Structure formats: C-alpha cells, structure tokens
C-alpha cells in the first residue's frame, strides 16, 4: 500500500526548478526528496506551462492582491456587525426561549 503525501506549492516549485536547472537527474532529485520521478516530471511541465502566465498578468497580480485585501477587511467588518447583532438578539430573546 503506497503512502501519498500532499506537498505544498512551494515544495513543488522548488523541486521543479531544480529539475529545470539540470544539475541533477530526475532520479537523483526523486531520491533526495522522496518523490516519484513521474511527479517531478509533472511539476516541471506545469511550471513551464504556467510560467508565461506570470508575465501575461504583469501588474494584475498586485491589483488582485489589493482587491483581495479590501474584500477581507470588508468581510471582517461584516462578521463583526453580525456578531454584535447576534449577541444583542440572543440577550433580547432570552425571556421567550428560556435559555
């Protein structure tokens, strides 16, 4: 029975970059990182296919991060409002629900 590991994106990128450098063979990398060589080939292929997207998006990535930050702040504010409303309503409803 084989044991599957979930590797994070940073790990996959590091291994794929090492494979692209060509300083060590895929077999050597597979042994060093305890990963099947097929996985390294897949990560290397994904890195090569996705690399152009970094340059196509250009400044859009920074704008997306800023929008995401604004969205998170708005959502945190909304959560706070709902928590206050929930607390208020639970105190007001205590006489009727008996808790």
Domain boundaries, the chain: 1-57, 58-99
Residue 63 CB: number of other CB atoms within 10 A?
11
With a CB cutoff of 8 Å and minimum separation 6, the contacts of 58 are: none
| Main-chain phi, psi angles of 3, to 5 degrees | -105, 115
Reported as a single tens digit per residue, the pLDDT across 4-19 is 567 888 899 999 999 9
Question: Residue 3 has what pLDDT?
Answer: 47
With a CB cutoff of 8 Å and minimum separation 6, the contacts of 18 are: 24, 29
What does pTM read for this prediction? 0.53
Q: What is the CATH number assigned to the segment(s) 1-57?
A: 1.10.10
Question: Residue 16 has what pLDDT?
Answer: 94
As a whole number, mean pLDDT of residues 32-42 equals 94
Reported as a single tens digit per residue, the pLDDT across 47-64 is 988 887 777 665 566 566
Is pLDDT above 80 for 25?
yes
């Amino acid at each position: 029975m084989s044991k599957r590991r979930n590797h994070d994106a940073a790990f996959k990128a590091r291994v794929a970059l090492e494979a692209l450098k060509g300083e060590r063979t895929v077999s050597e990398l597979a042994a060093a990182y305890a990963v099947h060589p097929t996985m390294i080939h897949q990560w290397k292929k994904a890195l090569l296919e996705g690399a152009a997207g970094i340059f196509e998006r250009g400044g859009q990535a920074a704008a997306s991060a800023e929008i995401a930050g604004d969205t998170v702040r708005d959502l945190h504010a909304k959560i706070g409002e709902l928590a206050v409303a929930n607390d208020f309503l639970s105190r007001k409803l205590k006489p009727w629900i008996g808790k």
